[in-house]
């Protein structure tokens, strides 16, 4: 079956599908899908907030692949993803592209190129804590495990020791990202797939990260500095690769990003970096509207003074353009935040659409709600300059 190609929040397209696949696509929540009036066997399909590629498999068999292109250029999307992961270690030139293609081929090629470059110099090695059962004592004995497992016997011995090995976090991340890309049956070019197979061979003996395990954390140091760009790309790959089960036995597998979350993560991290250092930012702040603390609220960002007093609140909203601007519900939500935090101003930040900047002063409340817009389709330096100006509005110097 021919793949379906869509544009994020673009117009619906008509595509021939049998009813089972059409229903599976609708249940996937990846896109909106409904039978087309007057055309049996055709479905109207429209992309929502996710971008990338995914294969949707119906419970009784049969599958359809959907490609969803982002509205912003691929290089800009990768900058937003990379900056949110590490604002101080990511540069716009890290995602320089030869062509502006689909997201998965571009991502796979970038990762393969960077990983091959660092592994050409040999595998990084380091110390890790190893626990094992042995007939010889090295390191120290794990006394509790020794008593529990061997009931006073002298051998074997439960030990823990430092091991100098290549099976470390950095190499495990590279291997896992390589294997996840190789499992994707659509979208990885043949030459890139060949490079990924060579990477897997170079990483033989490394243990991959199993699905469902907590993500491994690495920290930049002088020893792993040459790995850093490949590791940032590996983290993006692992964030995008997923296999999800939907109600009714529908399976969605592929390489996908939710643009709502991408925008929210970028805005909150960039604002945190831009706000004054004589205080602290709380992301996804756990707040309550009522005095009994029963009505929970989670603003995207709250900036506090040194003594903990809230100074500013902001929410990022990646909204679809509407003829009448952005929804009033956002204003009501921000009014609740300002009231509970005892703030005079609240800030809503949108991906730029058709609504201009506005400030709404609430009657009888002395609260002003500001609506700001960010133009994502501009050079990274200019985008960060806009964020800097926005931070000064949140907490005037």
pLDDT digit string, tens, across residues 225-251: 999 889 989 999 998 888 777 777 899
Starting at the earlier edge strand, list the strands of the sheet with 126-134.
126-134, 157-165, 140-141
Indicate whether 151 and 197 sit together in one domain.
Answer: no
Indicate whether 232 and 356 sit together in one domain.
Answer: no
Q: How far is CA 32 from the centre of its chain?
A: 22
Q: What is the per-residue pLDDT for 280?
A: 92
Tokens of 260: 């709502």
Indicate whether 284 and 190 sit together in one domain.
Answer: no
Say if residue 11's pLDDT is above 50: yes
264 within some domain: no
Q: What is the per-residue pLDDT for 353?
A: 58
Tokens of 217: 């954390």
Q: What is the per-residue pLDDT for 93?
A: 46
Question: What's the rounded Cα separation, in Å, for the pair 141 and 149?
Answer: 13
Percent of the chain at pLDDT above 90? 56
Residue 369 near residue 338 (C-beta atoms within 8 A): yes
Indicate whether 114 and 131 sit together in one domain.
Answer: no
Question: What's the rounded Cα separation, in Å, for the pair 218 and 397?
Answer: 35
Indicate whether 345 and 355 sit together in one domain.
Answer: yes
Indicate whether 56 and 139 sit together in one domain.
Answer: no
58 versus 100: the higher-pLDDT residue is: 58
Structural domain for 153, as ranges: 126-165
Q: Backbone phi, then psi, for 20, in 5-degree steps?
A: -65, -45
Question: What's the rounded Cα separation, in Å, for the pair 303 and 279?
Answer: 7
pTM over 0.75, yes/no: yes
269 within some domain: no
Instruction: Determine which of 5-19, 25-39, 309-323 has the lowest per-residue pLDDT on average.
Output: 309-323
Q: Backbone phi, then psi, for 36, in 5-degree steps?
A: -85, 125
Residue 315 near residue 348 (C-beta atoms within 8 A): yes
| 24 CB-near residues (< 8 Å, 6+ apart) | 56, 57, 58, 59, 62, 64, 248, 250
Q: Backbone phi, then psi, for 153, in 5-degree steps?
A: -65, 150
Domain tally, the chain: 4
316 within some domain: yes
Indicate whether 112 and 82 sit together in one domain.
Answer: yes
pLDDT digit string, tens, across residues 193-215 = 999 999 999 999 999 988 777 77
Indicate whether 45 and 84 sit together in one domain.
Answer: no
CATH number where 365 lies? 3.40.1350
Say if residue 92's pLDDT is above 70: no
């Amino acid at each position: 079956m021919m793949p379906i190609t869509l544009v994020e929040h673009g117009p619906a397209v008509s595509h021939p599908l049998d009813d089972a696949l059409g229903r599976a696509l609708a249940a996937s929540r990846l896109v909106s899908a409904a039978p087309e009036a007057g055309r049996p066997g055709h479905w109207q399909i429209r992309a929502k907030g996710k971008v990338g590629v995914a294969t949707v498999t119906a419970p009784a068999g049969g599958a359809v692949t959907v490609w969803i292109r982002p509205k912003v250029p691929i290089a800009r999307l990768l900058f937003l993803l990379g900056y949110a992961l590490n604002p101080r270690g990511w540069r716009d030139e890290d995602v320089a592209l030869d062509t502006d293609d689909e997201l998965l081929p571009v991502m796979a090629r970038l990762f393969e190129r960077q990983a091959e470059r660092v592994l050409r110099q040999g595998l990084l090695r380091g110390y890790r804590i190893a626990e094992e059962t042995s007939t010889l004592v090295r390191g120290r004995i794990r006394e509790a495990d020794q008593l529990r497992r061997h009931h006073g016997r002298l051998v074997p011995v439960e030990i823990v020791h430092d091991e100098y090995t290549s099976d470390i976090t950095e190499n495990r991340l590279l291997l896992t990202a390589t294997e996840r890309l190789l499992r994707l049956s659509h979208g990885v070019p043949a030459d890139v797939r060949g490079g990924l197979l060579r990477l897997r061979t170079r990483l033989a003996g490394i243990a991959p990260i199993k699905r469902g395990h907590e993500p491994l954390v690495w920290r930049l140091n002088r020893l792993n500095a040459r790995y850093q760009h490949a590791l940032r790309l590996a983290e993006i790959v692992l964030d995008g690769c997923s296999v999800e089960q939907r109600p009714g036995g529908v399976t969605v597998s592929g390489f996908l990003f939710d643009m709502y979350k991408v925008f929210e993560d970028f805005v909150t991290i960039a604002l945190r970096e831009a706000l004054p250092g004589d205080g602290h930012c709380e992301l996804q702040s756990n707040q309550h509207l009522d005095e009994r603390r029963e009505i929970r609220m989670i603003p995207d960002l709250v900036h506090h003074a040194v003594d903990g007093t809230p100074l500013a609140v902001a929410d990022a909203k990646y909204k679809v353009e509407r003829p009448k601007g952005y929804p009033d519900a956002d204003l009501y939500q921000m009014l609740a935040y300002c009231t509970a935090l005892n703030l005079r101003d609240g800030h809503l930040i949108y991906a730029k659409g058709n609504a201009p900047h506005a400030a709404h002063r609430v009657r009888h409340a002395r609260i002003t709600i500001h609506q700001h817009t960010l133009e994502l389709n501009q050079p990274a330096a200019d985008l960060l300059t806009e964020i800097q100006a926005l931070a000064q509005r949140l907490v005037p110097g």
